[in-house]
Structure 1
Amino acid sequence: MNPSLHFTLPTWFNSALVAGMKRGIEKEGLRMQSNGHASKAFHPAKLGSKLTHPYITTDYSENLLELITTPKATIKDALDMLRELHVLVHRSLEYGELMWPLSMPCMLSADDSDIPLADYGTSNIGRLKTLYRSGLGVRYGRKMQTIAGLHYNLSVGDDLFNKWAKAEVCTDLQDFKNKKYLGLIRNFKRLTPLVLYLLGASPSVCGCFLTGRTHDLVPLDNAKHTYYQPNSTSLRMGKLGYTNSVQKELDIRYNDLDEYIKGLRRAIGTPFADFTDIGVDDKDGNPVQINDHILQIENEFYSPIRPKQVTQSGETPTHALQSRGIAYVEFRAIDLDPYSDIGITTATACFLEILALYCLLSESPDLLPDEEQYLADNVETVVNHGRKKGVRITTEQGEQELHEWIVRTLNEMQPIADAFDEYHEGNDYRSALALMQGKATNPNFTLSAQIESDSRRLGSTWKLGQFLAQKHQNELLGYAISNENAFNYANIAIQSFADQQQLEREETQDFYEYLRQYR
């Protein structure tokens, strides 16, 4: 992927080929008490069962909501559904609770035990989900698991792949798609610094998040209890955030699907001394983690992007990939946009789709450990110093000035933005690219700079978060959902309780026996 070579669209490409694109969004967000601390209340009953509800669940903690849209044909449809889910949440919040709008958490107590694990009921699958979260807690601490982000899931239509495969005289369509999706993933990893600079929105944290952790953050002047790294972009994606040093050594590669699956399975099957020392059960024989391996399950592998296939009942993610290939990619390196009531704007969504197509259609050589190492160094540089004038990163062409590299790369994406707008008969994609170009040339326009500036003005990042949380709640409670949709959502919530109860009624196997077999 050589930014000095001018990108051109392939001769077989035309704008109608973007028609088959589908996008879905998974958005996490902490429930916050009115006093600014993370909520200790149970998941609101009006929202249904978090085990079986298809759109509203919890992630790590009982208070960390996860809202999931279905795959949609347009960005507008995806954002509309995400907004409706937010409205349902705000209508069901009790005790003066709000939804915290930032990726890094609101106030936490010093004690990890104050962060309640999500409780999925008494079925074996529900208890296993809670046990997995217990394992994450004993391995990495519960605070890390309160960090929220947004996943943007994107699939490219078969029309595009068919035309491309025909141009390259390839007859096995799924194999062709697997190769091209992996190429997209490798290029996204190369461009992660660009994503963190443009979309990073976690330059500061509440001091309570740092309790008991070594760090090099400094107090933000005039801002109480707020710590930051000058010129940082996304602390969530750095060493303080959702990363883990154990996984750095895994060498999971994205050059071939079988190789990727084998790498993940190797990690799930390999014990790790530190986790063995914790023990799989506590002194009373109660399980505290699923196993003592590098990964308990596939989902524990943290990566800025993942290849995905829809799983069927009882199927693991790698089995789904192995049997049916890659169906879509999951972009994971995205902080919540705290200025948006739903955590993401149309401009960000448009930009991610331009970026995806650019990564897909650009040359993508194999990604090997040496390159992975300097890419990881690039991420750490941009996380901590991305807005600093003259900051440099390493590329295939050697060292480059970050902001110049971003400007050049964004300029190459112009024909893709044009193609999207030609098909959709609008200007959203070109506007989104222009917005990102402005941020590339002026770091003060970035979300991270805005958050730093507003935290200073208001007296802390917490005060900024509280102000935005209240503002978003007021806006969302004024939003109308059609009677038909409201009725459907109410039925889904009721049905989800019935589904959970049925699972629990039909459970015949003792959990410890179930877990022994699973292990």
Structure 2
Amino acid sequence: MIRFSLDDLKKSKASSELNLINRGIEKECLRVDASGNLSQKPHPKNLGAALTNPFITTDFSESLLELVTPTFNSAKECLDFLTELHVFVNQNLEEESLWPLSMPCHIESEEEIPIGNYGPSNQGMMKETYRKGLSNRYGSMMQAIAGIHYNFSFSDKFLEILAKERSLDLKEFKNSVYLGIARNFRRYGWLYLLVYGSSPIANNSFAKGKDHDMEDLNSNDIYKPYATSLRMGDLGYISHAQDSLNISYNSIEDYCSDLKNALETPYDEYSKIGEFKEAERIQLNDSIIQIENEYYSTIRPKRVCPSGERPLNVLSNEGIDYLELRCIDLNPTSAIGITEEQIYFLDLLILFCFFEDSPEISEQESNEIFNNHKIVVNDGRRSNQSLVMGSLEVSIKDEAIRILDEMVEIAKFMDEVVTFEDENIWMNSLEKQKNTINDYGLSLSESMLNEISNEEMSFQEYGMNISKKHREEIKNISTNDQDILIQAAKKSLIDASDIESSQDADFEDYLRDFLNKIS
């Protein structure tokens, strides 16, 4: 295992490259009508084709938008582009707005959630069939949850210099660095959820027919009084089929081998569902996961994958290119769902994970990480709550403060040496988190519950009030890059049409070829 201390980095020529962190954001959000009901309209044509637009697509549902930024070195520029996307989307929604919360609006039944449609091409049919599989496996309600994925990587030059200084193979070094960060993020990512988790409550329609241990907040809503992120817990993105996978992050070989096993191993419950219903394909296969994207984790090693290729093969052959952080709830205090301060704290946490010793994770520690995660998402703000680390029980607050204290030198280094920022943005972000740990009333989860309770409103009313406020805020923003988005939308419609008219393979043959590509 390769480790770098902050002192090592200060002595390295690579330190000057640390200001070139690559950042990208993928944001999901539901479209709702003027009454706050889930939109039943198809994906707006003015937004382009969901199959081919690189900036605006849909996630599970036709009503669940996904807004995708390019990669930026500047956090501000990344958020500026995300803002442009929101402006463009809002201009092209007819009597609709964007739901600002991770847990969905009131949805009476799963039948109200339209599965995404990507056209009659083989690519489009595969995307839709995958989503049918998700619906049949987990239910559509779970898939209506929204969140943000944050994509992070160091600059190639930064990693090249560090690898060269230690005479290490670059690909192996990158894999080692990113997996080391990923292991530590699994250990310490709960800290982010503690301060920025913002899904402690849900409309009671969300859990209809499900076994749960939630409490009633009022006649409309269920909650957990000390929860941080129900989205990341048993009520949210959870797959009991995946509970026993224990996919290893100890090496790229182990990770790919375990993922391959999940892709090729049938799961009894999914076999019982079947692949067809009255001649209609209702899932891609009966494996534990249909394709790589179905693997749920707080963080995943990734590489950009060419169309038609298997992400697993590309990752195994070419190595890790970036990390995808998947634990980010929509922030209702921001019209775009995430703030610059949040990004800097995510970066600090990643840098802490980079500098911190990152030994391999044993099966016992993996179970410990899983249990600690559950404690924080369900009960993290409870007074005197503790986590288990090895043979010790430690106070969540004490451990959070310990980690934040260890980040101080990293934040100072980033402010004073790397980014040359006058405002001390890194230290300011860190101080904000310390204040939140000392007073959970400042956390997004507790402040949300307090506002709903104090104003005697429902979760639905709370969401609609914020949605309207955000819509007005976005309406008043002056923009710069709308032409890029207009042209991308137009081009995507042409590209989708070209794909549909040029294919000649039968869908079942196409699917079989794709599924058999795993090497």
Instruction: Answer whether TM exceeds 0.5 for this pair.
Output: yes
1:48 partner amino acid: G
Aligned to 1:76: 76
C-alpha displacement of 1:424: 2.1
Question: Is residue 502 from structure 1 mapped to residue 498 from structure 2 by the alignment?
Answer: yes
Deviations, residues 122-142 of structure 1 (Å, cap 9, x unaligned): 100000000000000000100
Deviations, residues 371-428 of structure 1 (Å, cap 9, x unaligned): 0101111111111111111000011361100011001101100111112222222211
Q: How does 1:1-150 map to 2 (within 5 A)?
A: 9-10=7-8, 12-13=11-12, 15-94=15-94, 96-110=95-109, 112-150=110-148
Aligned to 2:371: 377
Question: Is residue 330 from structure 1 mapped to residue 327 from structure 2 by the alignment?
Answer: no
2:323 partner amino acid: V
For the residues of structure 2 that align with 1:386 and 1:277, how far apart are their CA atoms? 37
Instruction: State the secondary structure of the residue aligned to 1:177.
Output: helix
Counterpart of 2:344 (choices 350, 356, 366) is 350
Check conservation: 1:204, 1:226, Cα contact below 8 A: yes
Aligned to 1:470: 468
Q: Which runs of 5+ in 2 are unaligned?
A: none
C-alpha displacement of 1:17: 3.2
Aligned to 1:513: 509
Aligned to 2:307: 313
Aligned to 1:486: 482
Check conservation: 1:309, 1:321, Cα contact below 8 A: yes
For the residues of structure 2 that align with 1:203 and 1:170, how far apart are their CA atoms? 48
Counterpart of 2:275 (choices 271, 280, 285) is 280
Aligned to 1:4: none
C-alpha displacement of 1:444: 1.0
Instruction: State the secondary structure of the residue aligned to 1:474.
Output: helix
Q: Which runs of 5+ in 1 are unaligned?
A: 2-6
For the residues of structure 1 that align with 2:483 and 2:429, how far apart are their CA atoms? 35
Counterpart of 1:246 (choices 241, 247, 250) is 241
Instruction: State the secondary structure of the residue aligned to 1:61.
Output: coil
For the residues of structure 1 that align with 2:330 and 2:101, how far apart are their CA atoms? 6
Instruction: State the secondary structure of the residue aligned to 2:174.
Output: helix
For the residues of structure 2 that align with 1:193 and 1:154, how far apart are their CA atoms? 18
When structure 1 is superposed on structure 2, of 396-405 and 305-314 the one drifting more is: 396-405
Aligned to 2:156: 158
Check conservation: 1:12, 1:164, Cα contact below 8 A: no
C-alpha displacement of 1:166: 3.9
Counterpart of 1:212 (choices 209, 223, 242) is 209
Aligned to 1:364: 358
2:382 partner amino acid: K
Check conservation: 1:298, 1:317, Cα contact below 8 A: yes
For the residues of structure 1 that align with 2:6 and 2:219, how far apart are their CA atoms? 50
For the residues of structure 2 that align with 1:512 and 1:18, how far apart are their CA atoms? 47
1:325 partner amino acid: G
For the residues of structure 2 that align with 1:305 and 1:516, how far apart are their CA atoms? 29
Question: Is residue 403 from structure 1 mapped to residue 397 from structure 2 by the alignment?
Answer: yes
Instruction: State the secondary structure of the residue aligned to 1:32.
Output: strand
2:496 partner amino acid: Q
1:328/1:517 Cα in 2 relative to 1: closer, same or farther (>3 Å)? closer
C-alpha displacement of 1:511: 1.8
When structure 1 is superposed on structure 2, of 311-320 and 348-357 the one drifting more is: 311-320
Question: Is residue 177 from structure 1 mapped to residue 174 from structure 2 by the alignment?
Answer: yes
Instruction: State the secondary structure of the residue aligned to 1:67.
Output: strand
1:184 partner amino acid: I
Q: How does 1:252-271 map to 2 (within 5 A)?
A: 252-271=247-266
TM (norm. structure 1) is 0.95
Deviations, residues 289-343 of structure 1 (Å, cap 9, x unaligned): 0001101000000000000111112212111212221111011111110110000
For the residues of structure 2 that align with 1:356 and 1:451, how far apart are their CA atoms? 26
Check conservation: 2:247, 2:259, Cα contact below 8 A: yes
Deviations, residues 182-211 of structure 1 (Å, cap 9, x unaligned): 000000000122121011000000011011
For the residues of structure 2 that align with 1:404 and 1:141, how far apart are their CA atoms? 39
RMSD, aligned CA = 1.5
Check conservation: 2:310, 2:514, Cα contact below 8 A: no
Give the % identical residues. 39
For the residues of structure 2 that align with 1:464 and 1:170, how far apart are their CA atoms? 56
C-alpha displacement of 1:15: 4.6
For the residues of structure 2 that align with 1:514 and 1:166, how far apart are their CA atoms? 43
C-alpha displacement of 1:516: 4.1
TM (norm. structure 2) is 0.95
